[in-house]
Chains A and B, each alone.
Chain A
Amino acid sequence: MRLSVSQSSDESTIKVHGKRLDAAIAGDLRSGLIEALASIAGRAVIDVSEVEFIDSTALGAVIGALKTSRATVVLAGAQPPVRTVLRLTRIDRAIPVRDAVTP
């Protein structure tokens, strides 16, 4: 799992490189996201389009990181397994999920 940050005029995108977000890498995911989000004040898009699997521990890491941030966070490009997890946990009621990675 690796993160990269890019910027457009009105939002910053944090791309998650990796197919699997699980408990084994949840600590790295949390600290990586906290670091990436620290420099973003406006809208932050977390691009999860590569992710094919996410467990609840990794999801907790995303929530934990997001709660340290001033940015407005949106998840983008979620594949069906990720969408299902966000829907069943009702986390998608609190964190917007959009199809397109670019606005």
Chain B
Amino acid sequence: MSAPSPSTMWLSIPSELGAVRLLGAALQSVLRELDCDAELASRVELCVVEGVNNAIEHAYDLQPGHRIEVELAVERDQLHLEIADQGRLMPESAMARARAAAAGDAEPTIDDPMALAEGGYGLRLIVSMMDAVSYRQVDDRNVLAMTTALHRRSA
């Protein structure tokens, strides 16, 4: 990410699922202030929540006492979001599976509810809902980066 501009901010929460709701509320408030429409605000909140949930559940194995950082930056008409943890690195195969599922070429469509998987939808939703998604290790941090166009209500 480039040098911080006045429209960059960081939010951090402890690695507890109960803390995610407040992060969502904070994001909604920030996005409203940026004149985002309801659809975008809802989509961004969900993607950040999914990324943070993944960090809590998989990077930190639901252990409390760690920190998850969210960076939000506006650059012209783009909204950049990063979610960083210092836990276990997500395997590359998880991102590849999510991209394949989002593209619809992973598996045949399931029409029997009994055959539905109970998990593994989070990263697929992120890939489906954002324009660009990447995951990388930077020093001792795992960073999930997402970008989407910033539609403003007033635009």
A interface with B by C-beta (< 8 Å): 20, 22-24, 52-53, 55-57, 59-61, 63-64, 66-67, 73, 80-81, 84-85, 88-91, 93-95
CA–CA, A56 and B118, complex, Å: 9
Q: Flag if A88 contacts B128 (CB, 8 Å).
A: yes
Binary interface encoding of chain B residues 8-41 relative to chain A, with 1 for a CB under 8 A from any of its CBs, else 0:
0000000001101100100000000000000100
> B146 to nearest A CB, angstroms?
15
Residue pairs across A and B with Cβ atoms less than 8 A apart, 12 shown, are A20-B21, A22-B17, A22-B20, A23-B20, A23-B56, A53-B42, A57-B53, A61-B118, A67-B116, A80-B39, A89-B121, A89-B125
> A86 to nearest B CB, angstroms?
10
- Chain B's interface size range is 20 to 34
> A76 to nearest B CB, angstroms?
15
Cβ–Cβ < 8 Å partners of B21 in chain A? 20, 22, 24
Q: Flag if B113 contacts A67 (CB, 8 Å).
A: yes
Q: Flag if A81 contacts B46 (CB, 8 Å).
A: yes
CA–CA, A56 and B122, complex, Å: 5
Cβ–Cβ < 8 Å partners of B7 in chain A? none
B50 an interface residue at 8 Å Cβ cutoff?
Answer: yes
Given contacts A81-B42, A93-B110, contact A55 B49 (CB under 8 A): yes
Instruction: From B24, B46, B110, B116, give the contact of A85 (CB < 8 A).
Output: B46
CA–CA, A101 and B39, complex, Å: 23
B111 an interface residue at 8 Å Cβ cutoff?
Answer: yes
Q: Flag if A55 contacts B116 (CB, 8 Å).
A: no
Given contacts A24-B18, A55-B122, A85-B46, contact A63 B128 (CB under 8 A): no
CA–CA, A24 and B102, complex, Å: 25
CA–CA, A59 and B114, complex, Å: 14
Q: Flag if A94 contacts B116 (CB, 8 Å).
A: yes
Q: Flag if B17 contacts A24 (CB, 8 Å).
A: yes
> B13 to nearest A CB, angstroms?
12
> B4 to nearest A CB, angstroms?
29
Closest to A94 in B: B113
Most chain-B CB neighbours within 10 Å: which of A56, A64, A93? A56
List B92-118 residues whose CB lies under 8 Å from chain A. 102, 104, 109-118
Cβ–Cβ < 8 Å partners of A91 in chain B? 116, 121
Instruction: From B43, B53, B109, B118, give the contact of A55 (CB < 8 A).
Output: B53
